[in-house]
Structure 1
Amino acid sequence: MYGCTLRGLLLFLGASLCWGDCPCSDPALCQPIQDTRDFEVYVFYVRGKNWKNYDWDHVTTVALFAPYDPELMCFAHSKGARFVLKGDVPLKDIVDCNARAAWIAEKVELAKAQYMDGINLDIEQPVLDGTAEYHALTALVKETTEAFHREIPGSQVTFDVAWSPNCIDVRCYNYTAIAELCDFLFVMSYDEQSQIWTECIAGANAPFNQTINGYEQFVNIGIDSKKLVMGVPWYGYDYTCLNITEDNECRIEKKPFRGAECSDAVGTQVPYRTIMKQVNDSLTGRLWDDVQKAPFYNYKDTKGNIHQVWYDDPQSISLKAAYIKKLGLRGIGMWNGDLLDYSDDPIVRQQTAAMWKALLP
């Protein structure tokens, strides 16, 4: 239904794949994680050694979006957390069944060689319903899940989706089938201004009502809520205002994206650690928008331009996280675990701890 015969995949996986020497002090730590906890806390790792300061009492999965670090693998396994690959491939390259089988086999072999526990499929490419790429993507999820589950016992295959199933950024995927075929969806409830269909005005990265409505849309099309993990942003957007009103309406430059006239692409992504250093010295200090339920502030740059920064903090994240139980979601996660400040400054440590705590409903 979703693709061609598995002959090609079996051909590539038929031979026993080699496992290298375990890099951990305890060889048992090279065994795949097989236990599944009731509540998922999903972390994307992108750089450095910040992972040593993650909240390992709650982390369940770390997705590797950086060069492989065997020390991190050993440590994650010591905490009972899965460590998974990133999977991304141009969809035009895997329309062919044999090419798709080869790609899957390569990822399974890499995961085995690095003692990893699965893969996070982060495709995010525009796809129209009914096209060859549409069917190939669904087949990719099906065949990847089958291969990983068979070859690595207890492994996890997840798929990243936009905040709504309504063809956001022209990602018109077969969401119901994909959710059924993999372990769960990581819902990227951020960059929700990637397509601004109203006026070109700065706004929240993940406005509360829009975010919650996105999960209701996934459930309404028949996706089990336990197949959904809520993703929240640990970053914000810095917009240069063309003009700003007394009630802080910041008009921004038009920058089209996938059909929309305006987009958050005109802004600059800012890590939470940078925001915390800037907000107190800004023109306004932290302000709160009670409609979007998100914080923001204004500042003036060296050229005299007024900027508006929208972001998420413990208050806005906690409001959304509270809906995890109400909606019956599988868990929560963030993009990404390395956007906080993990230095020893006492105030910074409190700010960082508060962001981790906000994930827990």
Structure 2
Amino acid sequence: MRDGARPFKGLGQRGVRALTRGLGALVPSSAAALPRTTVLRLRRSMRLSTPARRRLRLAPLWAGAAAVPVGVVMLAVSLNRVPSSGSVQPSASGTSERPGAGIAATAPAMALPAATMAPAPAPPAITSSPTLRPHEIFGFAPYWTLPIAGGFDLRDLTTVAYFGVDVAPDGSIIGGGDGWAGYQSQDLAQLISAAHFAGDRVVLTAKSFDQATLDRLSSDPTAGDRLGSQLVQAIQAKAMDGANLDFEGLGGADRVGITRFIAAVSGRLHAANPHWQVTVDTYTSSASNPNGFFDVPTLARVTDGLFVMAYDMESSGAASPNSPLDYYSANIIQSMAWYRWAASPSKVILGLPFYGYDWPTTNNAPNAAAAGNPAPVGYDRIRASGLPTYWDPRGSVPWTAYQVGGQWHEAYYDNPQSLAMKAYVADADGLAGVGIWALGMDGNDPSMMSALLGRARPLKLPMGPSTVSASSPPPGAPPPAAPSSPPPAQSPPPQQSPPPSSPPPNSPPPGGGGSSPPSSSPSPVPRVTVP
């Protein structure tokens, strides 16, 4: 067994006890109703910060329905797992570098009306109780999802990050492009109003994924003050509540400079309003890499929180999970163990994906060899496809397999059960909370948001197809490429399921850590924020 006899060594004794307690309630085929509980929600005015500077304030809300515990039973499967001889290894992009850099260039053009203020709708009534302690739920709202933002579950979010505005090499905000048009739109004005009515914080994401721009920002001692001053004006103009900083670079050459830059921006924002939240997006491997782009211990001190982009951890050469909980060389449990060592857990937000990857493969066996590059696919598209659902007990995620012509495909993704398990891990590790890249990629399915509160019905799934078949493309012809996934302006509700032999419909490409939607390889959207 990998890592000796303790596959959950990163979770700690408290985490294992918490997960073990959840198993007893899931053994019966039908769960009994549980006692009513008091729900505590983070309000917009609350802060989750370090030392004596700020305190957490909670406002009670009463829920009237019983909570259903998460399907932690799936996690028990991996306690006795034995890795196969062909253990897959993570790709470079999945382990450390720039999960969001590939999306900015392919975002769809947007034409949104100019902003005027409108009254916010009342949030829906709470119908069930979270089973975890109160925690942050930080969701990215990319500009291309603004047309469907009226369907976002603002009731259960604590922070909405508008993604976002681009930053020039001198630190100034670029007043152009689709992200800027979205910032000026009526759609964003309505989202801000509705989020505030629901008690949520709304922050503005400032971003850059261009290495030359990041080199300049890191070397210019005035760039941080310049961006900080312009962000103050942009935040005040929209009555927003802080900023999310999504700067994704390569290597360690800019490590010192980008840390100084982020510290200067954070200082300017907190000087303007000490209640504003400032978060920064980091890679899954950043805490374990002392020579990487992000200096996690220092960034945790100079900002209010780290949004860890815990996705795009897929392996090279084989179909594999986008965001594995355990077992794979890059996984959430191991990553969070490093983050708890490098920073206060109360400063860490575990960013999770509402999308997965579709791989062309040589057959339909679990972790089949790849026959081409993967394409991102949103949960809404997979759910609407009607394809069979299997369970990967090692990564604790669902997957599916289907055939187009003679070419097999496998898609690994997250669903309510896998997300709820990760929310339990974040709770057991004492993290500030969880985050989402990105709102709308689930088709606004309420069960996905509910899962982040620890609520998901037990789901018993087979581990794979009953028979394994190899792909059989026409002689001499290369295997068909995976379906492309251009990000649509909106995610339509699930339609009638196509036959199992059909591929899932194209889905909005994931953005990430603060980038635009990719057409082939998703980038994690910025995921950071601590109240």
Shorter-chain TM band: 0.7 to 0.9
- Kept in 1: contact 2:227–2:265 (CA 8 A): no
- How far is the alpha carbon of 1:93 from its aligned partner? 2.3
Q: CA deviation at 1:48?
A: 2.9
Structure 1 residues 177 and 53, CA gap change in structure 2 (3 angstroms): same
State yes or no: 1:353 paired with 2:472.
no
Q: Once the 2 structures are TM-superposed, how far is the Cα of residue 25 of structure 1 from its aligned partner?
A: 5.2
Task: State the SS of the aligned residue for 1:119.
Answer: strand
Matched residue type, 1:203: S
Deviation by residue 1:277-335 (Cα, 9 ceiling, x = unmatched): 12x2x3xx10111111111111112x431110000001111111111221001011110
Partner of 2:231 in structure 1? 107
Q: Deviation string for 1:93-114 (max 9, x for gaps)?
A: 2221123322222222211222
CA contact (8 A) 2:263 2:303 kept: yes
Q: Does 1:116 align with 2:223?
A: no
Asked if 1:181 is matched to 2:302, the reply is yes
Tell me which residue corresponds to 1:53: 151
Separation of aligned partners in 2, 1:167 and 1:308: 30
3-state DSSP of counterpart to 2:377: strand
Cα deviation for residue 55 of structure 1 reads 2.3
Aligned equivalent of 1:268: 375
Instruction: Please state if 1:84 is matched with 2:203.
Output: yes
Shift of 1:253: 4.6
Aligned match of 2:384: 277
Aligned: 1:324 with 2:426: yes
Match of 2:401 among 298, 305, 313: 298
Residue pair 2:263, 2:299 contacting (<8 A) in 1 also: yes
Structure 2 counterparts to residues 19-168 of structure 1, below 5 A: 23=117, 39-46=135-142, 47-65=145-163, 66=179, 67-68=182-183, 69-89=188-208, 90-94=213-217, 95-128=219-252, 131=253, 133-165=254-286
Aligned residues: CA RMSD? 2.2
1:227-264 per-residue CA deviation (whole Å, 9 max, x = no partner) reads 001111100100011x126x43321157xxxxxxxxxx
Q: What is the rounded CA distance, in whole Å, between the counterparts of 2:119 and 2:154 in structure 1?
A: 19
Task: Give 5+ residue unaligned stretches, structure 1.
Answer: 1-20, 27-36, 255-265, 343-351
The whole-number CA distance in structure 1 between the counterparts of 2:220 and 2:396 is 46
Q: Does 1:204 align with 2:307?
A: no
Scaled by the length of structure 1, the TM-score of the pair is 0.76
1:233 aligns with 2:345: no
Distance 1:144 1:38 in 2: 29
Amino acid paired to 1:205? N
Residue type of the alignment partner of 2:242: G
Q: After TM superposition, give the deviation of residue 86 of structure 1 in Å.
A: 1.1
- How far has the Cα of 1:41 moved from its partner? 0.8
Higher helix fraction: Structure 1 or Structure 2?
Answer: 1
Identity %: 27
Query: Which residue of the partner structure matches residue 286 of structure 1?
Result: 389
Query: Contact 1:91/1:136 (CA < 8 Å) preserved in 2?
Result: no
Q: In 1, Cα distance between the equivalents of 2:235 and 2:279?
A: 14
Instruction: Provide the rounded CA distance (Å) in 1 between the counterparts of 2:395 and 2:366.
Output: 14
Alignment partners' CA distance in 1, 2:416 and 2:255: 38
Residue 341 of structure 1: CA displacement? Answer: 1.8
Aligned-partner SS, 1:355: helix
Query: SS of the counterpart of 1:88?
Result: strand
Q: Secondary structure at the match of 2:271?
A: helix
Q: Is the 8 A contact 2:398 2:414 kept in 1?
A: yes
Aligned counterparts of 1:174 and 1:334: Cα–Cα separation in 2: 23
Distance 1:25 1:56, change over 3 A: closer
SS at match of 2:434: strand
**Is the Cα contact below 8 Å between 2:255 and 2:292 reproduced in 1?**
no
Q: Distance in 2 between matches of 1:76 and 1:127?
A: 37
- Give the match's secondary structure for 1:208: coil
- Whether the 8 Å CA contact 1:225–1:328 is kept in 2: the answer is yes
> Please, what TM-score do these two structures have when normalized by structure 2?
0.53
Could you tell me how far apart the structure 2 residues matched to 1:228 and 1:164 are? 13
Q: Say if 1:220 and 1:353 are closer, same or farther in 2 by CA, change over 3 A.
A: same
Are the aligned partners of 1:124 and 1:171 in contact in 2 as well (CA < 8 Å)? no
Larger RCO (CA under 8 A, 6+ residues apart): 2
Q: Counterpart amino acid of 2:450?
A: K
User: Which of these residues, 304, 309, 330, is aligned with residue 411 of structure 2?
Assistant: 309
Q: d(CA) in 2 for partners of 1:87 and 1:175? A: 19
Residue 167 of structure 1: how far off its partner (Å)? 6.7
**Cα displacement (A) at 1:40:** 0.8
SS of corresponding position for 1:159: strand
CA spacing shift, 1:299–1:228, aligned 2, 3 Å: same
How many residue pairs get aligned? The number is 295
Contact 2:118 2:190 in 1 (8 A): yes
CA drift of 1:38 comes to: 5.1
Compare 50-59 and 68-77 and name the one that shifted more.
Answer: 50-59
